[in-house]
Structures are given as structure tokens and as C-alpha cells.
Amino acid sequence: MVDQDKIKEAVKLLLEGIGEEPFREGLLGTPDRVARMYTELMAGMDADVSEPLSKVFAVEHNELVLEKDIFFYSMCEHHMLPFYGKAHIAYLPDGKVLGLSKLARTVEVYARRLQIQEQMTGQIADAIMEYLAPQGVMAVLEAEHMCMTMRGVKKPGSRTVSVAMRGVFEGNAQLQDQVYRMLKLGQG
Ligand code: ZN
């Protein structure tokens, strides 16, 4: 659970630390606003993917499913700056599929906490394997990291792509290529 009082105290200290005056008019409401903002941005810490991932439908044919362009916003745990972009999730069912909005909900649960993109990619794939138990999952995340673009090496527009494969996708180049073709991504 987010402790709003602690965040407010910390923001006041941060403001002092950067040489600001926390009690000047423009900053008076800032600790409170930031505390409420973090409650929203970290909501995934208290959320559970078992809820969205438990709504499944039976299917007769196990055709590849790809949900692409699921937009997300997360926060890198190294700098506490946003990274944001798109998640694409493919899976080969084993008799059951998910409602499409459930994949977006799953991404949201893992995005709304301090994260590392590679870890988040793996968590999404693992959760789908655990709760849906498909033949395999492939999760691709592409994101721009503010800690790369507004500070440090300053490479605006550069994106980090991470991939996690589980089950039948592991070592199956044909299946992986099918997903990349559907994404029109990874073609050079
Ligand atoms: Zn960072």
C-alpha cells in the first residue's frame, strides 16, 4: 500500500534538496499532488493478474493469437523516470483463449510499479503461461526511456526492444518469424 504521508514528506525534502522553497505558492500543493499521482502510478503493486487472466473461453482450433499495440506507461526503477511504449503479446492457445482486453489489463498490472523493461516482459509472459496455460507465449515490448532521452546519453526517439518467449516459441524460428511478420517488426 502506498503511504501518502511518507511521499509528501519525501517530496518536501526533495524540493529542499534541489534548492527550492517548498512553501512558496506554486509548490504548496505539490507534495500532495505527487503523493496522489504515485498512488495511481504504483497501483499495479496491489493488483493481481489472476483476476483478468481467469476469464477464459474455450476454442476448438488452436490458432495463433496476437494482440498488438497495447500502450503502456511505466517507471524505471533505476531513475524513477517514465518509460513508455507498446506491448505486443502473441500466444498459441491450448484449448482456451483470453478476452482481448484482459491482456491489456495484465500489461497494466506490471506497468504500474517501478520496473525494468526486460523484467516486465518476462513477468507478462510468465503470468500468461501460469494462468492461461497456452502452448506458448511471446511478449515483445518496445519503449522509450526518459532516463535515456532527457538525461545521460540523450538519444531522443531511441527505443529499447525486449522479447520474452515461453513454451513452443522457445527455439521455434518459424513461429517467431510469424509473429514478427504480423508485427512488421524485426525485419531490419
Ligand atoms: Zn532508468
- Mean pLDDT of all residues in 75-97: 97
- Mean pLDDT of all residues in 67-75: 97
**What is the 151 CA–ligand 1 centroid distance (Å)?**
10
pLDDT score at 185: 57
- Mean pLDDT of all residues in 159-180: 96
pTM to 2 decimals?
0.92
The pLDDT mean for the chain works out to: 94
pLDDT-derived band at 187 (thresholds 50, 70, 90) equals very low
Neighbours of ion ligand 1 (CB under 5 A): 76, 78-79, 147
Alpha carbon 150 to its chain centroid, in Å, reads 20
pLDDT score at 135: 98
pLDDT score at 99: 87
**What is the 58 CA–ligand 1 centroid distance (Å)?**
41
pLDDT-derived band at 186 (thresholds 50, 70, 90) equals very low
**What is the 82 CA–ligand 1 centroid distance (Å)?**
8
> Which of the pair, 154 or 182, is modelled with greater confidence?
182
- Give the burial string for 120-145 (b: 16+ CB within 10 Å, else e): bbbbbbebbbebbebbbbbbbbbbbb
- Mean pLDDT of all residues in 116-136: 97
Look-up of cell digits 532521452: 149
pLDDT score at 124: 98
Q: CB neighbours (10 Å) of residue 78?
A: 11
Q: Say if residue 8's pLDDT is above 90.
A: yes
- Mean pLDDT of all residues in 87-100: 95
